[in-house]
């Protein structure tokens, strides 16, 4: 560990528990247009619809949900890769939605992203050295021999031999490519990294290696993660807290063990019941919750509670008119349930 890494880690430890990222009522709508020449907006795809949560410095917040629920869009909107339609994104005291240009670029160094697909997220015409050195050049960090030393240090940190620097992405396996992607994110010494399903495209045996690597790097560099995934077993292993997302809304948020041991929302219980357990005796006796129907379209979500069309209470509940808000049911455990569901 370098002197800079030790200093950064010590500073992060001292500030642990402080809020690094705060998201308030964030919405991300994508317009749907009609017309051949004169395009006019006819509807909105409500990918993210009013998210509110925070991320503490040094922690890992897991974000889980079905495909298409808005997880990746949430990560991109936080980093301002998509400009939110509405709401606030406050990063370490700065409102990101109000800055742009050079001011926003300065914050790019502190916020990075690890993409889902290591096969398409790396430029096949660039060598490993060029891929990792590009963000250093963009932000004017490390020049000459220092940049070469930084490159070697990053490659070693992610478990790759520095002699691989002249190779190209097609010469690596999927797990090695993802390590290159992680190294690219680490190169500029960020504080916060959005991990957008970083292991979903990898073999199970490689997934564990990458997860362990991310945990080691978090301890070494004092990183804060937003870990997006649909594999609940992976999320439980790496996350301090977990937010469950459904159709653009967070329906439950709690500490990892609390969420798995005491799920309150019907959707969370259904997700957890789908996790296979290696013990056949337990697997045979436990209840499996099967949700009826399909996930509604974000182009035309249900009025009121977005989960009501698949909930056992159905449309007869009060939530057909009122959108449930996240309410604290126990210390640090928040659930978006209506009155009749909470009573049940």
**pTM score, whole prediction:** 0.89
CB count within 10 Å of CB 28 equals: 24
Burial class from Cβ neighbours inside 10 Å (0-12, 13-18, 19+) for residue 148 reads: middle
pLDDT tens per residue across span 37-64: 778 888 999 999 999 999 999 999 999 9
Calculate what percentage of the chain has a pLDDT beyond 90: 63
E strand intervals along 38-138: 40-56, 60-64, 86-91, 94-95, 111-114
pLDDT tens per residue across span 126-139: 999 999 999 999 99
Q: Bridge-partner residues for 89, per DSSP?
A: 23
| Full set of structural domains in the chain with CATH | 3-110+190-264 (3.40.50.300)
- What pLDDT sits at residue 11? 56
Token readout for 98 is 């109000």
pLDDT at 177 over 60: yes
Residue 193 phi, psi (nearest 5): -130, 130
Residue labelled with tokens 């402080």: 18
In the sheet that holds 86-91, the strands lie side by side as: 40-56, 19-34, 86-91, 94-95
- What pLDDT sits at residue 213? 95
Residue 61 phi, psi (nearest 5): -100, 120
- What pLDDT sits at residue 319? 73
Round to whole Å and give the CA distance between 246 and 205: 29
pLDDT at 71 over 70: yes
pLDDT tens per residue across span 201-260: 788 888 999 999 999 999 999 999 999 998 888 898 899 999 999 999 999 999 999 999
Round to whole Å and give the CA distance between 195 and 9: 20
Distances (CA, A) of 207 to 42, 154, 175, 212, 214: 42, 20, 8, 9, 11
Sign of CA dihedral 50, 268, 53, 79: negative
pLDDT at 278 over 90: no
- What pLDDT sits at residue 343? 46
Token readout for 165 is 């620097």
């Amino acid at each position: 560990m370098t002197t800079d890494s030790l200093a950064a880690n010590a500073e992060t430890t001292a500030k642990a528990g402080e809020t690094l990222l705060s998201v308030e009522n964030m919405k991300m709508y994508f317009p749907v247009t009609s017309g051949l020449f004169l395009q006019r907006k006819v509807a909105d795809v409500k990918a993210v619809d009013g998210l509110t949560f925070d991320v503490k410095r040094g922690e890992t917040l897991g974000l889980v949900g079905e495909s298409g629920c808005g997880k990746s869009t949430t990560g991109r909107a936080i980093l301002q890769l998509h400009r939110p339609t509405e709401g606030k994104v406050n990063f370490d005291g700065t409102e990101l939605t109000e800055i742009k240009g050079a001011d926003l670029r300065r914050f790019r160094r502190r916020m990075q992203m690890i993409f889902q697909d290591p096969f398409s997220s790396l430029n096949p015409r660039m060598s490993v050295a060029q891929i990792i050195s590009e963000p250093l050049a963009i932000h004017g960090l490390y020049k000459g021999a220092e940049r070469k030393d930084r490159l070697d240090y990053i490659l070693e940190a992610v478990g790759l031999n520095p002699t691989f620097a002249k190779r190209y992405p097609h010469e690596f396996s999927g797990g090695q490519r993802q390590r290159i992607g992680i190294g690219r994110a680490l190169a500029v010494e960020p504080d916060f990294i959005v991990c957008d399903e970083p292991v979903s495209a990898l073999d199970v045996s490689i997934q564990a290696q990458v997860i362990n690597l991310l945990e080691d790097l978090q301890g070494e560099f004092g990183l804060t993660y937003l870990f997006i995934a649909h594999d609940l077993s992976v999320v439980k292993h790496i996350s301090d807290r977990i937010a469950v997302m459904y159709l653009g809304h967070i329906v439950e948020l709690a500490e990892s063990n609390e969420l798995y041991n005491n799920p309150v929302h019907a959707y969370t219980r259904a997700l957890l019941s789908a996790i296979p357990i290696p013990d056949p005796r337990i697997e045979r006796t436990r209840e499996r919750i099967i949700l009826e129907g399909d996930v509604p379209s974000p182009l035309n979500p249900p009025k009121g509670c977005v989960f009501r069309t698949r909930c056992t209470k159905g449309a007869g509940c009060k939530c057909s008119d009122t959108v449930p808000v996240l309410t604290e049911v126990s210390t640090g455990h928040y659930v978006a349930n209506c009155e009749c569901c909470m009573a049940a």
